[in-house]
Amino acid sequence: MHSFHYNNGSLHCENVPVSEIVSQNGTPLFVYSAQTFRERFKALDSALADLNHEVAYAVKANSNQSILKLLIELGSGFDVVSGGELYRVIKAGGDPSKCTFAGVGKTKEEITFALENGIYSINAESEEEAVFINQIASELNLKAPIAFRVNPNVDAKTHKYISTGKSENKFGIDFDRIDEVYQKASQLENLELRGLQMHIGSQLTSVTPFIEAVEKVAPLAARLKEQYGIEFFSIGGGIGIEYQDALASGSESWWTDSEKTNLPLTPERYAESLIPLLKDLDLKILIEPGRFIAGNAGILLTKCLYEKRGTSKIFKIVDSGMHQLIRPALYEGYHQIVPVTESSHETEVVDVVGPICESGDFFCQNREIPVFSSGDIVALMSAGAYGMTMASTYNTHPLPAEVLVDDTNFKIIRKRQSYDDLISHEDL
């Protein structure tokens, strides 16, 4: 059964009524399905079974320690983009030797922390960064394992804010310069050239850009293996998820049947296209999914506070907003909105807006959605990725709580922030 579904008119997460979770924990509230995290990880891991591979979960998608621990138990590696994310993985019981450290702006403190803890690879995004890593490694009397991120200049055909593989993006080294960069880095005494990395963007709904990028970069990976003995090739993440119709009807599961799936790109379709291009490289293949594993595994629950009917619009004002799920405001991200208690099949065209003092504080605009009224609880689907990790306390709103459901059980995995918590680090 789909992890989020209606049962007798009541929205459930696995086998727990969402209304029961809300009654104990209030709103706004993130609720996650452990089953979905497991199913998504296993589906991708199994699809790539014919390759020497590792699924390295992108911590930035959802970094709660309980989620990380769940994935550690499944054998996941991790893609981190800060010292803080690496620290989270370690505190959750993860092994730094199964972590890669990406990102364009790593500090000396972060690089030192990663090297001292035995990071598998630091993915350098510029020549100057590689020189800096070499200097730090020399001071520590260590050899720093690195990979360079190559920019293949492939159009991922996704939103411009989450496209990362074109020459005008800030990420990676231009494809036509990468051989020169590896040659120079090979002369630096405290670097070990361990791999090659790329990532072309997020929320890709077609396998075509992946094929184009791998076809372009795989020969480079083979050449670097021969010249410098690299051992891995990371092809990044980016597999898209279902946002438009995330709440399944009936009991069909969208992750186990590729014929019926609502997913825009299944693990099976992804693997069958890419394995033939990668299997003869004799390199460990890393894949860095975040949204694919976490996105459909979570919902954001919010309460309708007021309804305002103007001359041109109906506004549903809720107690969550852009400060807790910024995707709609940031890049017009879509989230299906459904009531926790299924009512009639009536719909109306409304704006769902939050309490933040910004005109961009909306979850949808001019959208036809099921009717709900003041006091009703609604769920924003597919909110498991880039919700809480991008949340802020703007307008001094406390951060929401997080709950993890596992079959018939649920527990708080992050307490709701209090007013005292909000000011606890300030000194008057």
Across the chain, which has 428 residues, the per-10-residue mean pLDDT values are: 88 97 98 97 97 98 98 98 98 98 97 98 97 98 98 66 49 92 98 96 89 96 98 96 72 38 78 97 97 97 96 95 96 93 89 97 96 97 97 98 98 98 96
- Per-residue HEC secondary structure of 213-260 comes to HHHHHHHHHHHHHHHHCCCEEECCCCECCCCCCCCCCCCCCCCCCCCC
Collapse the DSSP code of 425 into the 3-class scheme (helix H, G, I; strand E, B; otherwise coil) and give the result. coil
Phi, psi of 360 (to 5 degrees): -80, 5
Equal CATH topology for 4-30+296-423 and 34-293: no
Return the number of other C-beta atoms located less than 10 Å from residue 78's C-beta: 29
The whole model's pTM is what? 0.93
> H helices within 289-384, ranges in order?
291-294, 327-331
Q: Which residues pair with 233 in a beta bridge?
A: 196, 285
Does domain 34-293 fall into CATH 3.30.750.24?
no
Q: What's the gap between Cα 365 and its chain centre? A: 25
What pLDDT sits at residue 167?
Answer: 52
Phi, psi of 320 (to 5 degrees): -120, 170
What pLDDT sits at residue 166?
Answer: 45
Angle between helices 208-228 and 267-278 in degrees, nearest 10: 30
In the block, residue with structure tokens 């104990």: 24
HSE (side-chain half, CA atoms, 13 Å) at 298: 28
Torsion of CA 378, 384, 386, 387, to 10 degrees: 40
What's the rounded Cα separation, in Å, for the pair 16 and 407? 7
Residue 326, both tokens: 């910024």
CATH number attached to the domain at 4-30+296-423? 2.40.37.10
Active site residue 357: yes
* Distance set, CA 186 to CA 120, 148, 263, 363 (Å): 18, 12, 42, 49
Give the domain ranges of the chain: 4-30+296-423, 34-293
Peptide bond into 28 cis (omega under 30): yes
Return the number of other C-beta atoms located less than 10 Å from residue 124's C-beta: 29
Nearest to 414 by CA among 385, 396, 388: 388
What's the rounded Cα separation, in Å, for the pair 93 and 279? 31
What pLDDT sits at residue 168?
Answer: 55
Edge-to-edge strand list for the sheet holding 16-17 = 4-7, 10-13, 16-17
What pLDDT sits at residue 156?
Answer: 56
Q: Which residues neighbour 387 within 8 Å (Cβ) at sequence distance 6 or greater?
A: 30, 62, 298, 300, 324, 325, 327
Rg of the chain over Cα atoms, rounded to whole angstroms, equals 22
Nearest to 67 by CA among 422, 414, 348, 330: 414
What pLDDT sits at residue 257?
Answer: 40
Catalytic option among 13, 99, 304, 357: 357
What's the rounded Cα separation, in Å, for the pair 250 and 5? 8
What's the rounded Cα separation, in Å, for the pair 177 and 165? 15
Nearest to 117 by CA among 140, 135, 138, 134: 140
What pLDDT sits at residue 254?
Answer: 37
What pLDDT sits at residue 423?
Answer: 97
What pLDDT sits at residue 161?
Answer: 43
The answer to whether the beta carbons of residues 290 and 57 sit under 8 Å apart is yes
What's the rounded Cα separation, in Å, for the pair 349 and 337? 12
